[in-house]
Amino acid sequence: MFLVALNVVFVILGLACVVVGAIFKFGTNLAKEEVQKVLGEISTSVLGDLDMDGVLSSLAIVFLVLGIFILVVGLGGCIGACCELRPLLVVYAIIVAVLLIAKIVAIALFFNMKSDFTEVLDKGLTKLFDQYSTEPDDDTSRALDGLFHLMECCGYYNFSDITNRPDWNTPNSFKIPQGCCKKYNLDTKDVTTSEMIDCLNNPTTANSYQYTGCGQVIYQLFDQYTTIFIGIGITVLLMELLCVVFAFLVCCNVNRDKPV
């Protein structure tokens, strides 16, 4: 039965969310350590006093709750369809219909608030890049160097966002932040190699990312993943709509005189 097949997909999705949440909440510290290692690439001075353990714990709870909810709804749909339990199918259809409407509203709000989000992002990134310092031991600057290198960009619009500041003054008169060089080493942060010295003193598009703005890169990623999420969202909406339609069709085909 088509309704059963659809709900099997939801059951599997719910189980996956529960497993992921359980691993981070109750499992070994291995997964947490790996995630924290990645997050540790960003300096704590940039993140401020953000409690990463608390963030991971909260995400684990979200995955657990979401997974259990999807699992229960999916099982309800499967049982209702297999056993032709009209009351269960009606409750199931109502829940899925409410979720369907909520997703439509959320998508509409997302597009309505997209401009506000980009404005906040502009201000936040500009303020963050203004913290770049030429001091060799500045944690924030080294974190930004890592960001520039990983995202293959430099500054918000380009390197001049940083180098044109009045306080830009490097001991060796470097012309761009060191993280903007393609040969920058995230592990050693060594700027004494011949390739790094050449890049820092004579940056070009061949040895640096000086003209690629991080704002542009971030918005490209945002648009790319927005398209993906919209596609996934539309697919889920269609599946939920089909679930509601088939649930009511099964209800209509159930013998009304049959005891439930």
Cα–Cα distance between 138 and 178 in angstroms, integer? 13
pLDDT tens digits, residue range 22-64?
877 776 554 555 555 445 444 444 444 445 566 667 777 888 8
Q: What's the pLDDT at 33?
A: 55
Map out the domains of the chain as residue ranges: 2-112+242-253, 113-241
Average pLDDT over residues 118-146: 81
Cα–Cα distance between 93 and 244 in angstroms, integer? 5
- Closest alpha carbon to 63 in 31, 107, 33: 31
Cα–Cα distance between 121 and 141 in angstroms, integer? 19
Average pLDDT over residues 61-89: 86
Q: Which long-range contacts (CB under 8 A, 24 or more apart) does 160-164 make?
A: 161/126, 161/129, 161/213, 162/129, 162/132
Assess whether pLDDT exceeds 80 at residue 215. yes
Integer angstrom CA distances of residue 129 from 18, 65, 116, 165? 38, 37, 20, 11
Average pLDDT, the chain: 80
Cα–Cα distance between 97 and 112 in angstroms, integer? 23
Residues 6+ apart with CB under 8 A from 211: 154, 158, 159, 205
- Give 34-95 as a DSSP string: HHHHHHTTS-HHHHTT--HHHHHHHHHHHHHHHHHHHHHHHHHHHHHHHHT-HHHHHHHHHH
Average pLDDT over residues 126-132: 83
Assess whether pLDDT exceeds 50 at residue 4. yes
Residue 124 neighbours by CB distance under 10 Å:
10
Indicate the helix (H) or strand (E) that contains 134: none
State the alpha helices, DSSP H only, in 132-204: 139-151, 160-163, 194-201
